[in-house]
Amino acid sequence: MPTPNELAEMFLNGEYIIDIDGSVWRDTFLLLAKRGEPELSVKHKAHMLWTVNGGHLRRKIQDDRLVLCVLKKYLPGYGGSGLWLYRGECQFLHEKNLIGFCWSPKIEVAERFASGLNAIESGGILLKAYAPPEAILAEPNQHSAVQMEEFEYTCDPWLLKEIEIVKSFPAS
């Protein structure tokens, strides 16, 4: 198993290993949070890794503030205007005030998550929120926009405004 330093280097190269213990990922993110500002090429690799594996990493690390600290440093940023975005969230996470980072301007994408993957344990909810520019950490990369057609914006959930439940879905 890689050490946190080795795993940090892999993360910076866009490499992800799924079967790493959450405590090792947490230690890795603590190391990444202390490092200096990365080059833009590293940010693009980290963005791709986050787009594909972010939900899994979040569940492993179980510390949204630490995840946010790393995302702020290692995602490419955003230079546009504020947007209305949607998210399909787990009911139990919403009840714990643990709203996720990944949002889409496409309501049908968020509804698919709210009624599917994020409805498995406790039911899902479709959320709508206004993301001011300072809340958006990254706009959709090519993988998210072209291949997945999810148009995922990564956001700081603590900076989102006017969060509302649009629709609820039963546990699936």
CATH number of the domain bearing residue 118: 3.20.170
- Whether residues 89 and 159 share a domain: the answer is yes
Same domain, 109 and 130: yes
* Shared-domain flag, residues 53 and 118: no
Q: Which structural domain, as residue segments, surrounds residue 34?
A: 4-74
pLDDT at 117: 82
61 with 94, same domain: the answer is no
pLDDT in tens, 41-91: 999 999 999 999 999 999 999 999 999 999 999 999 999 999 999 999 999
Say what the pLDDT of residue 76 is: 97
Domain end marker among 74, 94, 127: 74
Same domain, 8 and 65: yes
Instruction: Say if residue 141 is in the same domain as residue 124.
Output: yes
pLDDT for 66 equals 98
One domain, residues 65 and 109: no
Assess contact for 135 and 159: CB atoms under 8 A: yes
The last residue of one of the domains, among 74, 96, 113, is 74
Number of domains making up the chain: 2
Same domain, 124 and 148: yes
Own/partner long-range contacts of 114-118 (Cβ < 8 Å, ≥24 apart): 114/87, 114/88, 114/89, 114/167, 114/169, 115/88, 115/169, 115/172, 116/88, 116/172, 117/88, 118/88, 118/89, 118/90
Give the pTM.
0.94
What span, in angstroms and rounded, lies between the C-alpha atoms of 44 and 76?
6
Q: Which pLDDT does position 118 carry in this prediction?
A: 83
pLDDT, one tens digit per residue, over 125-141 is: 999 999 999 999 999 99
**What's the whole-number average pLDDT of the chain?**
95
Q: Which of 74, 93, 116 is the last residue of a domain?
A: 74
Mark whether 18 and 87 lie in a shared domain: no
